[in-house]
C-alpha cells in the first residue's frame, strides 16, 4: 500500500473514531466531548499505523505503549480500542455507569488495552516517563507515546517529568501535546498562559520539538512521528495544533470542555458524523 492509500485509511479510521466517541458519550448522555474529539486524528495515526501492538495479547511486553495522560479523554480511547477489536464496541456504551469497565477516566485495571491509569492531570506524563525508562533499561526497542493537554501543561509535574526524560535521553518517548487552546474553565491563555509557548518550554527542557501546524491532519501527524523516530538521544514533543470538540456539531463552535446536549442535539451530531464518515469513505 502506498502512502496516499495509507493516509486515506487513516482519515477513515479517524472519522470512525469520532463517530464512536460520540456514541460512547451519548450512551451516558454527557461527558468530555471536547478533549476527546480533538484527539481522534492522533489516535487514528497511532493505533492505525504507527504503534506496534497485538490486540490478541494486549500486555505483550515488547509492544509500544500509549498513555492518555489527559485521562478525561477516555471515550476517544474506548472508541479507538473498540474499533481495533480489543473488545466489542457495544461494551463501551456503558460509559461511567455503575460496574462498567469503561470509567470516565482511563484505568488499566478495568479496560483491556489501556496501558496505564490516568485522570489526575500531570501524573500520566510521569508514568509514561517511567515506562520509557523501564523499556530502555530492559533493552526493548519499543516506543512510549503520551498525550497531554495544553491545560494539563499547567501542572508542575509535567515539567519534572520532562526534565527527567531529557536527562535520561529517553529517545523512545514521544509526547503529543493536544494544543486545543482551551481547558476546563476557558482559554488556556486566560487561565494560566505558557509564556513563549509550550513548545519553547519543552525545547528549554532539552527535548526535540516538532510543531504540527494542523494537529487534526493525519498525514502531518504521521510525518512528525516518522521525523521523531530519526532523533537519537532526546525525547520528542509534538505540538498538535488542534480544535477542541472537532467534528461534534454541538461542541466544536464553543470549544466546550464537557457537554450535556439534548437528545435532539445528540441525534444531529451523530447524523453529521455519520455523513462525514460516508463522505470520507467516498474519497479515493
Ligand X SMILES: Cc1ncc(C[n+]2csc(CCOP(=O)(O)OP(=O)(O)O)c2C)c(N)n1
Stretch that binds ligand X, among 1-9, 158-166, 178-186, 219-227 (CB under 6 A): 178-186
Residue 245 contacts ligand X per CB under 6 A:
no
Q: Which of 70, 76, 91 is nearest to 13 (CA)?
A: 76
Stretch that binds ligand X, among 48-56, 174-182, 210-218, 225-233 (CB under 6 A): 174-182
Q: Which CB sits closer to ligand X, 183 or 273? A: 183
Q: Which residues contact 190 (CB under 8 A, 6 or more apart)?
A: none
Stretch that binds ligand X, among 12-20, 119-127, 161-169, 273-281 (CB under 6 A): 119-127
Q: Which CB sits closer to ligand X, 11 or 70? A: 70
As a residue count, the chain comes to: 284
Residue 151 contacts ligand X per CB under 6 A:
yes
Rounded-to-integer distance, Cα 61 and Cα 253, Å = 42
Residue 135 contacts ligand X per CB under 6 A:
no
x/- map, 66-85, ligand X, by CB under 6 A: ----x-x-------------
- Per-residue cell: 98: 455503575
Query: Which residue among 5, 52, 97, 120 contacts ligand X (CB under 6 A)?
Result: 120
Residue 35 contacts ligand X per CB under 6 A:
yes
Q: Tell me which residue has cell 482551551.
A: 182
Number of residues that bind ligand X (CB under 6 A): 18
Residue 184 contacts ligand X per CB under 6 A:
yes
According to DSSP, the residues that pair with 209 across neighbouring strands are: 237
Alpha carbon 99 to its chain's center: 25
Residue 34 contacts ligand X per CB under 6 A:
yes
Closest approach of ligand X to the CB of residue 122, in Å = 6
Q: Which of 52, 76, 47, 72 is nearest to 62 (CA)?
A: 52
Rounded-to-integer distance, Cα 93 and Cα 76, Å = 12
Residue 152 contacts ligand X per CB under 6 A:
yes
- Per-residue cell: 173: 518517548
Rounded-to-integer distance, Cα 159 and Cα 30, Å = 32
Rounded-to-integer distance, Cα 6 and Cα 208, Å = 26
Chain residues binding ligand X by CB under 6 A are 34-35, 70, 72, 119-122, 149-152, 178, 180, 182-184, 244
Amino acid at each position: 500500500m502506498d502512502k496516499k492509500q495509507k493516509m486515506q485509511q487513516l482519515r477513515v479510521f479517524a472519522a470512525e473514531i469520532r463517530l464512536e466517541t460520540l456514541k460512547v458519550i451519548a450512551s451516558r448522555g454527557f461527558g468530555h466531548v471536547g478533549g476527546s474529539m480533538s484527539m481522534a486524528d492522533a489516535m487514528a495515526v497511532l493505533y492505525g499505523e504507527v504503534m506496534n501492538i497485538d490486540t490478541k495479547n494486549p500486555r505483550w511486553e515488547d509492544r509500544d505503549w500509549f498513555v492518555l495522560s489527559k485521562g478525561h479523554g477516555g471515550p476517544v480511547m474506548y472508541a479507538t480500542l473498540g474499533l481495533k477489536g480489543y473488545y466489542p464496541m457495544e461494551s463501551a456504551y456503558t460509559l461511567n455507569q455503575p460496574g462498567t469497565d469503561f470509567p470516565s477516566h482511563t484505568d488499566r485495571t478495568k479496560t483491556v488495552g489501556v496501558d496505564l491509569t490516568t485522570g489526575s492531570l500531570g501524573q500520566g506524563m510521569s508514568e509514561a516517563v517511567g515506562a520509557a525508562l523501564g523499556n530502555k533499561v530492559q533493552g526493548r526497542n519499543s516506543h512510549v507515546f503520551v498525550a497531554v493537554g495544553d491545560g494539563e501543561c499547567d501542572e508542575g509535574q509535567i515539567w519534572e517529568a520532562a526534565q527527567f526524560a531529557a536527562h535520561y535521553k529517553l529517545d523512545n518517548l514521544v509526547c503529543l501535546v493536544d494544543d486545543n487552546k482551551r481547558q476546563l474553565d476557558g482559554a488556556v491563555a486566560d487561565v494560566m498562559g505558557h509564556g513563549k509557548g509550550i513548545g519553547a518550554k519543552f525545547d528549554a527542557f532539552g527535548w526535540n520539538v516538532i510543531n504540527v501546524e494542523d494537529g487534526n491532519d493525519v498525514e502531518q501527524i504521521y510525518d512528525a512521528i516518522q521525523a521523531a523516530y530519526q532523533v537519537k538521544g532526546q525525547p520528542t514533543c509534538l505540538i498538535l495544533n488542534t480544535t477542541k470538540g472537532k467534528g461534534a456539531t454541538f461542541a466544536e463552535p464553543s470549544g466546550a470542555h464537557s457537554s450535556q446536549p439534548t437528545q435532539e442535539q445528540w441525534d444531529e451530531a451523530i447524523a453529521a458524523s455519520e455523513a462525514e464518515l460516508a463522505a470520507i469513505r467516498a474519497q479515493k
